[in-house]
Structure 1
């Protein structure tokens, strides 16, 4: 976890690549590389350890995080990184800088250990407390969602295995957009809530039906117009939500904290309170 301020040149590179869209494409390639690294560990009975907060961690988490940190430092040296596994070992930084990365190398580790498909790789760039670029990759389904330029636009693609000599492989990027709220909206909820609580939360946000889903996939499924809301009352870490929020907002959605303002980043301990993610 780096804490040095980025050089003037690095900050200029971030701004230039954000404006051109090159940054989101670059971090999408990194997330997909991490996904290819993770997949050989999936459904193999890989060893699981328990962290101090009682959450699981595997070699896949650690290997993916090391790869992501190395690639980001090569592209944009000196930019602060706040990454889940580094924080679990060294603690969170005392404060966030103006530019910093939020990284969850394997979101949904519990489901990953069980052999489920709803786990993701999350990389987000934060500037002045706002997620300005983000990528979410689902290794099990070879799917990536990303932001485009700061003025908006979100995209999805299926990526493939790399062949010898290829820099990347996969479908063309396709634009995605939230849907207008239907008469009977559909909510996504964490599997950690009871059925009674899930039904209550869904109804509070105008949804008559709900479905339980793990990881940051919830943001992306709303972003591509398949669902309508994701209310969350329990605490989450900022690296759990930043990339998904970036994608959802780029697709025309919103992520609001309890005060009605857009969920912000760089808070003490990098911890979120309650929020709701919404489509149209």
Structure 2
């Protein structure tokens, strides 16, 4: 199993919910997923997802102890100046600088580059459906891998990348609800110290003009899961998606899930995630 600097959190001492998460089955072929209509005769994906029932601990009582470098995720209070995240101009002008400030304060990094953001509104459509917003991702995944993390830095930073990669760099997502609290389909977050690196399964993500790589996660009963219920508009979750430093948490698997305690009539989840690169001196 993955080594750690401290013992994993003890979810058995916290309130728990039982829910299904989608895990990736191991395969003999290179795993892939097309984000658009694939060539004729080629399946959209060869990922096989199997649901497993897991217990997910309410991390609210220990939120102040969560650490990006230990568990791989953290809860941060933050009041945004953005009034409408669906307004691209506001999100770029205000949301991106806010995300940089949040990650810089949480990590102590010398420089933060915000390179992307994704808005989601749950409608029940398949993700990436035409004319529908992006949907919550209902399978356990990590946005980057040991290969794609450095490549993303090269893609974004160009000629400066190799000098920056000679020092520590990390990709951190800033995830927050918009319009209302995230009671519907919150995020389950895997304690990085309970994840065996051998269970992280790379999958090629094929776009029209480039390809990337993400991790799926094979199920193991030793994995520990947490969530922050009722995440408010003045809160964000930070998620470690890659870190060049092998002595800290490098990957925090996560997934949307159907929380059985969500009250009937709760509005569908709306959220945004900002993707950032933290560069350290």
TM-score interval (norm. to shorter): under 0.3
- The structure with the greater share of residues assigned to strand is 2
- TM-score between the two structures when normalised by the length of structure 1: 0.27
More helix, by proportion: 1
